Structure 1
Amino acid sequence: MYQSLLILHSLVRWLVLISLLVAIVRAYRGWLGHRRFLKADNTARVVAATSAHVQLVIGITLYFISPVVRYFLNYFKAAVHQREIRFFGMEHITMMLIAIVLLTIGSAKTKRKTTDQQKFKTMAIWFTIALLIIFLSIPWHFSPFTSRPYFRWF
C-alpha cells in the first residue's frame, strides 16, 4: 500500500501544479486585463483547491505509514540532523500544510469577493504564494535538500 500511495502522490503532484498554474494564469489575465470572472475561472479555482486537498489527504496518509517518518519520529535526536530524513519528517509536511491553508483561505476569500477584479486579484495573490511554497517544498530531482524522481511508476 505504501508504494502505491507514493506513486499516486508523485503523479497527483503534477495535477496540483498544472491546475494551480492554470488558475494563476487565469487570475492574472483577468486581474490585469480587467475581465469578467467567468464560470471557467471559478472552475479553475475549484479544481486547483480540490486537487491540492486530494494531494493533502494522500500525503497525510503517507506520512503516517512512511518508514522514513517512522524512523524520524522514533529516533528524533539523531534523525533531525540527517537532511533527507528531516526533510520528509518535518519540513515537507509543515510547508505543504502551510501552502494548503493559504490556498484554502485564498479560495474562500475569492468566492466571497463581490467584484470581478477583487476575485481575480485575491486568487492571483493567494494562489501564487501557495504555489511558491509548494514548488520550494517538493523534493525535485534537482533539489539541494533532497532528491526524488519526477515520475514514479507502478
Structure 2
Amino acid sequence: MYTGLKHFHSTVAYLVLLLVLIAVLHAILSLRQKRPFTAMSKKFTLYGLIAAHLQLLFGLVLYFVSPVGFGNLSGETMGNSLPRLHAVEHPLMMIIGIVLITMGYAKAKRATADAAKFKAIAWYYGIGLALILSRIPWQVWP
C-alpha cells in the first residue's frame, strides 16, 4: 500500500503543479489584457484548488503511513537535511501553500470586480505555487 500511494502521490503532483500554473498564468494574462472573469476562468481556478486539496489529502495519509514521515520525527532527524525535509519541511510548506491557494480562491469568489478576482488568484496561487516548488524533494522525486 505504501509504495503504491507514494507513486500515486508523486504522479498526481505533476497534475497539481500544471493546473495551479495554468490558473496563475491565466490570471496574469487576463489581468494584463483586462479580460472578464468567465466561467472558464472559474474552472481553471477551481480545478487547481481541487487538485491541490486532493494531493494534500493523499500526502497526509502518506505522511502518517510512511517510515520517513511522522514516524521519523526525532532530534536526530532535525540534524540531517533530507530526513528533516521529509518529516517537517515538505509537509509544512505544502500545507501553507495549499492554504494560500484556498485563500486566493475564497478571496476571488468574494470579489466583485474581475480585476480583483484575477489579482487575488495571481498573487495567492502564485505564492502558494512558489512555496510548494521550494520544498518538493527534488533529490528523490521521479
Indicate the TM-score class for this superposition, using the shorter chain for normalisation. over 0.9
Alignment of 1:1-154 (within 5 A): 1-73=1-73, 76-140=74-138, 147-150=139-142
What TM-score do the two structures reach when normalised by structure 1? Answer: 0.89
Contact 1:71–1:79 (Cα < 8 Å) also in 2: no
Q: Distance in 2 between matches of 1:24 and 1:41?
A: 10
Q: Percent identity?
A: 37
AA aligned opposite 1:101: V
| Alpha-carbon distance between aligned partners in 1 of 2:70 and 2:60, rounded to the nearest angstrom | 13
Shift of 1:70: 4.7
CA contact (8 A) 1:52 1:100 kept: yes
Structure 1 letter corresponding to 2:100: L
Listed one character per residue, the Cα deviations across residues 94-123 of structure 1 (whole Å, up to 9, x for unaligned) are 111100110100011111100111111111
Query: Unaligned stretches of 5+ in structure 2?
Result: none
Unaligned runs of 5+ in 1: 141-146
CA-based RMSD of the aligned residues comes to: 1.0
CA shift at 1:71, angstroms?
4.5
**1:24–1:128 contact (8 Å) kept in structure 2:** yes
Cα distance in structure 1, aligned partners of 2:136 and 2:129 = 11
Equivalents in 1 of 2:141, 2:49: separation in Å? 25
Dislocated runs of 4+, deviation >3 Å: none
Distance 1:123 1:46 in 2: 11
Matches of 2:102 and 2:70, distance apart in 1? 29
Deviation at 1:149, TM superposition (A): 3.3
Q: How many residues align?
A: 142
Separation in structure 2 between the aligned mates of residue 40 and residue 14 of structure 1, nearest angstrom: 21
CA deviation string 1:38-87 (max 9, x = no partner): 111100000000000000000000000011125522xx121211211111
Give the Cα–Cα distance (whole angstroms) in 2 for the partners of residues 121 and 78 of structure 1.
43
TM-score by length of 2: 0.96
One-letter code aligned to 1:35: R
